[in-house]
Amino acid sequence: MPDGGRLHVDRALPFLVVYRRPVRRKDLDTNLLVRGEASHLTVSGSAKHREGLARLVDGVIGVLRDTYGAVLLIEVWAGPDDQEAEDQPLRFGIHRSKCVRLGSTLDVLDRALGEVRIKGQHALVETVAATNVFPPGMRPLMTAQRAAELHCDVIGIEVPPVYRDAAANATFPLVRRALHRGISRSIQRAVFEFTRSQTSHRPPHYQALGRRSFNKSLWQVDRDLAAVSNTFDFILQVTPTNVDEAWSRFRRGRFEREPDFASRPLKIDPSLVKRDLFRIPLERVEDPTLAQLLRDQQSEIDRKLTMLGDRGTPRFLYGSLQVYGGVPDALMEVAQDILARVPPRSRDESARRTIDANGFALRAQTELDYYRDQSPDVVSRVEVRRDISALTVSRGNVLIPASAKIPLSRVDALLAHEIGTHVVTYVNGRAQRFRQLYVGLPGYEELQEGIAVVAEYLAGGLSRPRLRLLAARVVASRHMIEGATFVEVFRELDRTYDFAHRTAFAITTRVFRGGGLTKDVSYLRGLLGMLDYLGKGGDYPSLLVGKFGPEHIPIIEELRWREVLVPSVLRPRHLDDPAGVERLAALRKSSSVLDLVTVGARKGRRK
């Protein structure tokens, strides 16, 4: 379109959001506030385009009217820059025509805009009625008579220009992004009410009115971020490769000398990878929801790269606290309560009946074959390796330590944890066009590990020793954060909580990886979060669409409504097992994490 104008109609919807750029003054960044909408027009407000613009808007509104019977035209403009930037009040103006049939729509818009918060400031909303609605210095997009003929209602939203300092010719991107999200949400909620009250269209949710098609820039940014993330495997890079040898030396030294761990050499230069990371043009992503996710992902990758460069130094722990968080008092109390109430000796995991690495690899391969029957997208493989000390999944592949001795009573639970959760969400994430869902969004570990521990319970194998182990990881992390040494944490687990020497060493090793890693707090914290989520009626299968954090659950739900996401291709075995279904129903009624081992112990295991 002339002078950089653009019309984007994602699909036929009963609304159009318009922004006209003033000719005689700068209007920094206001056009960006509408570009994420599914149906929007940005255009020059020049008088020479007036007739052509009127015909264009008339034609678009006419087509939408023929489909829905009524249309809502929303024009957005910036309020006056008549105050210092820091003194600019957060005051929206709703401009409406004098017709009264939009009462409920205006009420919804008023409430939604009133919920916008910028830097702690509450928004104020004023409503102004006029014969015609248009920005200062311009003419109406259509006359009141023509709007009535087209069954078109017109609303204007005057936006406070808190996202810029006009005098300094400067903008505030973070403020503008927050404002954009609030305005977009408000518009969608208002259109949802208008649609249900004034048209025959019945969208299931206001978020279903969001954008579904995107420009190439978004998908290129998504691909580039995934490519950078895939240049390194963070957990493998910070996990020691000589745990068995270190244990032997630690034991021979009577548990008095801190072990010397070996790490994998870095295959990347974190500084060079960061250079590639920050070349990615995130500013080209118009959708406010996805833009925020991608920015958060960029920040998380940056922090992990910094941590890789800080391996073996005190700085590593500070990075870990940023990425994985610490141990709040409430979580510490839960962990200590578990350790106090669950006895250290239990028959739940008899050491007399175990399976070695090769035997478990066969079971894992059989389990992967089960999921391959659901989808050919399962290309995961099983590897028995000597350079790891714990069972793990890396990029969809199951890695088994060669020295593994796994109690038979825990095999089904571990398969549900590693394959039924981590592999399943990896494959489901790869089925999405949005690649961050298989790479893992920021904070995904907490929800992933919470789901995985619940999966152990649903498979009938969440034992008392396992729950004690998860609690001990929290306690060990807290002591490490507070400055305890490796030997001091080991002694605490050994003498205070009566863990076997080898188990205490394994817990302590995990906590001190890289220089102090708080990732293991995610297991118990994630489990508690899952109990709360399921207790409130949350849907378990919807969490398996990919790898994301607890704070992303509403965003994932929004993307479902907008049909940006496709259904999961894999469904965990334990969700179709009658015993697993019964346990899930019982779990929703649980009042304490201890219910999982008291109730679970009375249930039979899957054959």
String of DSSP letters for 181-207? HHHHHHHHHHHHHHHHHHSS---SSGG
Residue whose token pair is 């290309």: 379
Q: Do 186 and 244 belong to one domain?
A: no
Q: Collapsing DSSP states into helix, strand and coil, what is residue 71?
A: strand
Tell me the torsion sign for CA atoms 386, 390, 395, 396.
Answer: positive
Question: What is the pTM assigned to this prediction?
Answer: 0.90
Residue 14 shares a structural domain with residue 133: yes
**CA–CA separation, 417 vs 326, rounded Å?**
24
Q: Is 156 helix (H, G, I), strand (E, B) or coil?
A: strand
Q: Is residue 287 part of a domain?
A: no
Note whether 149 and 241 are same-domain residues: no
Asked whether residue 75 falls in the same domain as residue 120, the answer is yes
- pLDDT (tens digit per residue) in 124-169: 999 999 888 999 999 999 988 999 999 999 999 999 999 999 889 9
- The pLDDT of residue 602: 42
**Has residue 293 been placed in a domain?**
no
Is there a single domain that holds both residue 166 and residue 248? no
Within the chain, which residues score under 50 in pLDDT? 599-607
Q: How many Cα atoms sit within 13 Å of 44 on the Cβ side?
A: 13
Residue 69 domain flag: yes
Asked whether residue 424 is assigned to any structural domain, the reply reads: yes
CA distance 335 to 326: 14
Amino acid (one-letter) located at 36: G
pLDDT by residue (tens digit) across 208-262? 999 998 989 999 999 999 999 999 999 999 999 999 999 999 999 999 999 999 9
Q: Show the domain range for 201.
A: 2-212
Pairing of strands 397-401, 392-394: antiparallel
Helix (H, G, I), strand (E, B) or coil at 17: strand
Task: Say whether both 380 and 501 belong to one domain.
Answer: yes
User: Are residues 260 and 132 part of one domain?
Assistant: no
SS3 20: strand
Contact 109/189 with Cβ under 8 angstroms?
Answer: yes
In a domain, 429, yes or no: yes
- Of the candidates 568, 564, 562, 529, the one whose C-alpha atom is nearest the C-alpha of residue 547 is 568
Same domain, 172 and 259: no
pLDDT of residue 4: 82
- CATH number where 107 lies: 3.40.630.40
**Per-residue tokens: 216:** 């190439």
Per-residue pLDDT at 599: 47
* d(C-alpha 418, C-alpha 452), whole Å: 7
Give me the residue label for tokens 């000589």.
242
DSSP letter (8 states) at residue 600: G
Tell me whether residue 357 is in a domain. yes
DSSP notation for 126-152: EEEEESS---TTS--SS-HHHHHHTTE
Q: Please state the domain count of the chain.
A: 2
Domain end call among 183, 212, 241: 212
| DSSP designation for 567 | P
The answer to whether position 275 is within a domain reads: no
Q: With contact defined as beta carbons under 8 Å apart, do 102 and 153 qualify?
A: yes
Q: Does 149 lie in the same domain as 247? A: no
Which pLDDT does position 98 carry in this prediction? Answer: 77
Residues 157 and 196 in one domain: yes
Reported as type and span, the H/E element at residue 394 is strand 392-394
Indicate whether 584 belongs to any domain.
yes
252 and 126 in a common domain = no
The answer on 577 and 485 residing in a single domain is yes
Six-digit token pair at 14? 């009963």
